Amino acid sequence: SQWVTGPLARRAVHRLRSECDAVVVGGNTVRCDNPQLITHGQSQHNPKRIVLSRQLDLPRQAHLWNTQVAPTLVFTTPQASPEQVEFLTQAGVEVIITQELTPKTVTHHLFDQGCAQVLWECGGHLAAQAIKDGIIDKVWAFVAPKLLGGFRAPGPVDDLGIDLMTQAIPLNRLNFHAMGEDFLIEGYLTSES
């Protein structure tokens, strides 16, 4: 969600994007946040912007469709609306239709296109899938001094199928950074995850 963290943390994210070849979000992030996924002046380099959406039920007025700023690729399935495929293609967006739309298949495709550093800046559902697929090496977790709770409240990671602390996936080689009122926790996933 927009503006959870303060300006220092947001600038850190913009710098991180500048170090990546691609930034990945899901369709829900496009619908809810309308992100730009650019570096906002932190660098001349803007990464490829990647969207995963099974049916392409995406808004036609989205910042990501402005491919003059940075290239955008959308991965979808054969169930996608042909009209939406045509609209996105006409806007200059590359649409890739795949039978198996998973973080792992997308990562392999991106690697084949020369994208070695991929930032998954997505919601909890897609983040959980990426972790389960074993494609996440490093986690950047920003913590803001705000409380949010509720049955429908979004979390950073959805269902991993882990219910007990004894099953928790540990992070290693931790670093902690204060960024204004926010904190950044950096850590690497263990090789067993």
State the DSSP H helix or E strand holding residue 185, giving kind and residue range, or none if neither.
strand 182-189
Lookup: tokens for 134: 């074993």
**More confident position, 89 or 156:** 89
Contacts 24+ apart (CB under 8 A), 40-44: 40/10, 40/11, 40/14, 41/14, 42/11, 42/14, 42/15, 42/17, 42/18, 43/14, 43/15, 43/17, 43/18
Q: Quote the pLDDT of residue 91.
A: 96
Q: Is the pLDDT at 96 greater than 90, yes or no?
A: yes
Instruction: Name which of 13, 2, 44 is nearest 119 in CA terms.
Output: 13
CATH code of 26's domain: 3.40.430.10
Residue 2 lies in a domain: no
Lowest-confidence segment of 21-25, 72-76, 165-169 by average pLDDT: 165-169
CB 59 within 8 A of CB 84: no
For the chain, the 3-state helix, strand and coil shares in percent, each to the nearest 5, are: 25, 25, 50
**Cβ(64)–Cβ(49) under 8 Å?**
yes
Average pLDDT of the chain is: 93
Domain assignment present for 13: yes
Q: What is the pLDDT of residue 193?
A: 42
Side-chain-side CA neighbours of residue 176 (13 Å): 3
The domain tally of the chain equals: 1
Which domain covers residue 119, as residue numbers?
Answer: 7-189
Q: Indicate whether 103 belongs to any domain.
A: yes
pLDDT at residue 2, as a whole number: 62
Helix axes 103-112, 124-132, angle to 10 degrees: 80
Task: Evaluate if residue 74 carries a pLDDT over 90.
Answer: yes
In a domain, 68, yes or no: yes
Domain contains 57:
yes
The share of the chain scoring above pLDDT 90, in percent, equals 87
**Model pTM score:** 0.92
Q: Which residues contact 81 (CB under 8 A, 6 or more apart)?
A: 55, 56, 57
* Percentage of residues of the chain with pLDDT beyond 70: 97
Q: What is the pLDDT of residue 49?
A: 98
Structural domain includes residue 93:
yes
Residue 1 lies in a domain: no
Residue 140 inside a domain? The answer is yes
